[in-house]
Structure 1
Amino acid sequence: MFNGLKIGTSGMRTAQKVMDNVADQIANADTNGYKKKEVNFSELLRNQMGENQVQLSENAQNASISIGSRAIYAKTNHTQGTVVGSESPFHLALEGRGYFGVVDPEGNLMLTRNGAFQKNGDSSITDEEGNLLSMETYLPQSQWGEESSISVSENGLISGRSQNGETLTLGRIILYTPGSSDQLISLGEGKYIPGNETPLLNSLDNPEGAYASVRQKALEKSNVDLVGSMTDMILTQRAYQVNAKSVTTADEMLEVINTIL
């Protein structure tokens, strides 16, 4: 009976963790560059079963019963999200494997797929949180001219036009490719840093590497399947209810046993 209580409560905890992950996916379904997390299940320790506990077949070998399960975050799914159009010349999307780099006020580099950048009053280009876009500039950003004349090529080259109509090379966006996306450490808000053993190539120091293509006036949406997440939510609710019912049943059986004794 006590094992029944343990199995039921572990199932409820597992369902709750899965539900938390599903809720996070649904809440971020429209977040630019968001990558969903995947949850796997692992079995807890197994208890050996003896003839004094349950009637066993003569052919039964190593009979045991699990004492429950638990949910663990396996990894972040870094597959490509849907790319949609935008009107801002500083809204950028990546197609293929790779990341933008953004630098926080302390000078720390972070990787992101969220390309919703903006030009500020001081001519700096940042994300919505004020982190600077990682790039090299060939001309001071205050001299870049009208936003409507700025174009970004597939390899991140930024161009503009002078007052005489001449094409000017203004700078280049630095793209990053980690050795393995599975080894990135999530900081939340769609930002990552590479693990200690993860090699990180960039298009400035390693131009021969393979990098994602940049699309201007576009944004990559999340890779969440909203319909699938809603289905997972319903299934998880049912699993929680089943485990809660097993706990109630085990409790009622213990109460009957105590009454008899």
Structure 2
Amino acid sequence: MIRALWTASTGMQSQQTNMDVIANNLANVNSVGFKKSRADFQDILYQTQKAAGTGVEGGQVPTGVQVGLGSRVAAVQKVFSTGDFQQTENELDVAIEGAGFFQIALPDGTDAYTRSGALKKDSTGQLVSSDGYAIVPSIVIPENATSISIAPAGNVEVLLDGESTPTEVGVLELVRFSNPSGLKSLGRNLYAETPTTGTPVTGTPGDEGFGTLSQGFLEGSNVNIMEEMVNMIAGQRAYEVNSKAIQTADEMLQMTSGLVR
């Protein structure tokens, strides 16, 4: 009976983590470039009361007796499917159509990566993220630029005041990983490289393995509200069933302790 109490409690703990993941997905349904997470579960240790293949008179035990001790969260994985594109008509909004991340230079000298193409200009005209972190490679928009054009291949051209021919000021590059699910979430729509992501590969948009860019669009969150609501209901019911198992085991213990000779 005691074993049932602890086993059911692991199920409640797993579902609590599942609900935390779902809640974070729903909270970021409007975050630009956000990628939803998914909790993966696995069973844990088993107590073997009789091993399969144990010899008995006239043969062997065919299946044995094993009792499981519950479940746990094995991983919380990022799902990097593409979100819906939203037209903004802002010339500094850029969406990635396909694989790849923008590279961001953090103040501590390290690099981070993002799918959010909501670019801005700082006081010097340098292209930065919404938090003011510089895009890599650095691109500076001249002060007298009257319009900005970003090509699908990443070429950034500006039309200067008084001129009729565009001037190229840089090229936006993308970075891809062999295992993007291994990226570490930093918050602020940023990801960091880990030992499991593989070496970052830098390339030009449109090259083999890289997506292209769409100016005037942003990639929305890939969270599907209906799917998350269904997962929430299923998680809630699983939590209730495990709590019921604890209640039932407790009642059985109560009956046992109440036995009178």
Give the shorter-chain TM-score range.
0.7 to 0.9
2:57 matched to which residue of 1? none
2:190 matched to which residue of 1? 191
1:67 matched to which residue of 2? 69
Distance in 1 between residues matched to 2:243 and 2:125, nearest whole Å? 57
- Where 2:89 maps in the other structure, the secondary structure is coil
Deviation at 1:190, TM superposition (A): 2.5
Q: Percent identity?
A: 27
> For residues 40-51 of structure 1, what are the structure 2 equivalents within 5 Å?
40-49=40-49
TM-score w.r.t. structure 2 length?
0.88
TM-score w.r.t. structure 1 length?
0.88
2:215 matched to which residue of 1? 216
Q: Is the deviation greater in 208-217 or in 61-70?
A: 208-217
Distance in 2 between residues matched to 1:210 and 1:64, nearest whole Å? 47
Deviation at 1:84, TM superposition (A): 1.1
Deviation at 1:207, TM superposition (A): 9.5
> Is contact 1:201-1:209 (8 Å) kept?
no
1:135 aligns with 2:137: yes
Distance in 1 between residues matched to 2:164 and 2:154, nearest whole Å? 21
Structure 1: runs of 5 or more not aligned: 51-57
- Where 1:164 maps in the other structure, the secondary structure is coil
- Where 1:110 maps in the other structure, the secondary structure is strand
1:33 matched to which residue of 2? 33
Distance in 1 between residues matched to 2:102 and 2:28, nearest whole Å? 20
- Where 1:111 maps in the other structure, the secondary structure is strand
Deviations 1:27-49 (A, max 9, x none): 11111111111211111111123
- Where 1:254 maps in the other structure, the secondary structure is helix
Distance in 2 between residues matched to 1:136 and 1:120, nearest whole Å? 12
> Is contact 1:136-1:174 (8 Å) kept?
no
- Backbone CA RMSD of aligned residues: 2.1
Deviation at 1:116, TM superposition (A): 1.2
Aligned length: 249
1:159 aligns with 2:157: yes
- Where 1:260 maps in the other structure, the secondary structure is coil
Deviation at 1:208, TM superposition (A): 5.9
